[in-house]
Amino acid sequence: MARKKTVRDIDVAGKAVLVRVDYNVPFHPGTTDISDDSRIRASLDTVRLLSSHGARIVLCTHIGRPRGRVVESLRVAPVANRLTELLGQLVQTLSDDDGVTASEQISLMHPGDVALLENLRFHPEEESNDAAFAMKLASLANIYVGDAFGTAHRAHASTEGVTRYLPSVAGLLMDKELEMLGQALQEPAHPFVVVLGGAKVADKIGVIENLADRVDAFLIGGGMAAAFLKAQSHEIGASPVDDDELGHARNVQALAADGGFDVIAPTDVIVGDRFDSEAESSVVAASGVPAGWLVMDIGPDTAARFGERIREAGTVVWNGPMGVAEWDAFANGTKIVGQALADCAGTTILGGGSTAEAAYNLGLADRMTHVSTGGGASLEFLEGKDLPGVSALLDA
């Protein structure tokens, strides 16, 4: 993918700049208290750079899934309040219910001021990439900055549509995401190890196929490990593996035999007698999962072996927890893998979503080279797919 122009390459002094950020933050249940503000913090370098160069900054984001209607609990006010604290300056929220109000408010902003539009997904036209809505967004500014890597795989009005009407460049977060993930795709230092977890092989098959010609080893954990164990003719108890999943696992093993890379499945696993945080658990050989039990995590021997491969790697990409990491009894594999990445002297890249959450919960995120803010976006990027919200930005 061609390198993209960034906010460093343009003159923004005195101009209104529309910045698509990803402030889809989690809240404590039943409250408007933000439980994790890492996505807000990730955007601050871009906001501060634009502010210091005299731009009038109009941030826009979605929160949750209001499905084209106003949902009071999904308003952006709590995010604006947190931004005000982090930036040390007032961040006002802009109402645009009548299509005029926001324009008037923006015209009264001073250089360096920051404002936040109301939740984009209150408008059904956002997700349908409606041209009129995209034009309305574009009319608010002179320049567009795409800094929401987490939504770059969606062709929405605020990620792709608006770029047809404004000069459009990447923010600093977007640029860093593309640089770090691009390095893993194009010039990884070897040994290049990819750690894959999560529920299904189907969700990761694109990554495996795209990286097969440059990877040295895939380490397989999570629910998807059961498919690889079944492909090795092991009994997997009650772990759900359909024919498609089994077929994917067998295809990957065949690819490894032809491609000269290793696919390392667990040799021991932690099983549970039911899918529950209070389930009875036991460590068993991967070839001896009891009937009726579920594979819930990689076992201690497997975790130690994965850790050795990770610590020796030149580049590690990790996408997907090793087990049901939100439950203590089945979190050990994820903890050991996370610690190994933190100890690795090579480049360590975490691919978004639950993997990033695990790293933050373990207190290890700041010891990784890069923690991606994109879940689905980072996965699609590693699959080699074009991301509409990236392709639409100007090339450097």
Q: What is the pLDDT of residue 186?
A: 86
Residue 59 has pLDDT above 80, yes or no: yes
* Residue type, position 149, single letter: F
Find the mean pLDDT for residues 349-366.
87
Q: What is the pLDDT of residue 57?
A: 98
Side-chain-side CA neighbours of 22 within 13 Å: the count stands at 25
Enumerate domains of the chain plus CATH numbers: 7-173 (3.40.50.1260), 181-382 (3.40.50.1260)
The mean pLDDT of the chain is 93
Task: Give the gyration radius of the chain's Cα atoms.
Answer: 23
For the stretch 133-164, pLDDT in tens is: 999 999 999 999 999 999 999 999 999 999 99
Task: Please tell me which of 213-217, 259-263, 381-385 the model is most confident about, judged by mean pLDDT.
Answer: 213-217
- Residue labelled with tokens 């390459």: 9
- Residue labelled with tokens 């360096």: 112
**Sheet harboring 114-117: ordered strands across?**
91-94, 114-117, 56-60, 16-20, 143-146, 168-170
Q: Name the pLDDT band for 99 (thresholds 50, 70, 90).
A: low
* Active site (catalytic) residues: 39, 200, 353, 376
Q: Name the pLDDT band for 96 (thresholds 50, 70, 90).
A: low
Q: Name the pLDDT band for 67 (thresholds 50, 70, 90).
A: very high
Q: What is the pLDDT of residue 351?
A: 84
Percent of the chain with pLDDT over 90: 81
Quote the distance between the C-alpha of residue 359 and its chain's center. Answer: 13
Task: Please tell me which of 29-43, 74-88, 178-192 the model is most confident about, judged by mean pLDDT.
Answer: 74-88
Rounded to whole angstroms, how far apart are CA atoms 109 and 51? 12
For the stretch 178-225, pLDDT in tens is: 998 888 888 899 999 999 998 888 889 999 999 999 999 999 999 999
How wide is the angle at C-alpha 21 spanned by C-alphas 39 and 47, nearest 5°?
90
Q: Name the pLDDT band for 175 (thresholds 50, 70, 90).
A: very high
Find the mean pLDDT for residues 228-249.
94
Q: What is the pLDDT of residue 29?
A: 86
Rounded to whole angstroms, how far apart are CA atoms 108 and 131? 27
Task: Give SS3 for 202.
Answer: coil
Q: What is the pLDDT of residue 97?
A: 58
Rounded to whole angstroms, how far apart are CA atoms 378 and 263? 21
The answer to whether 295 touches 313, Cβ cutoff 8 Å, is no
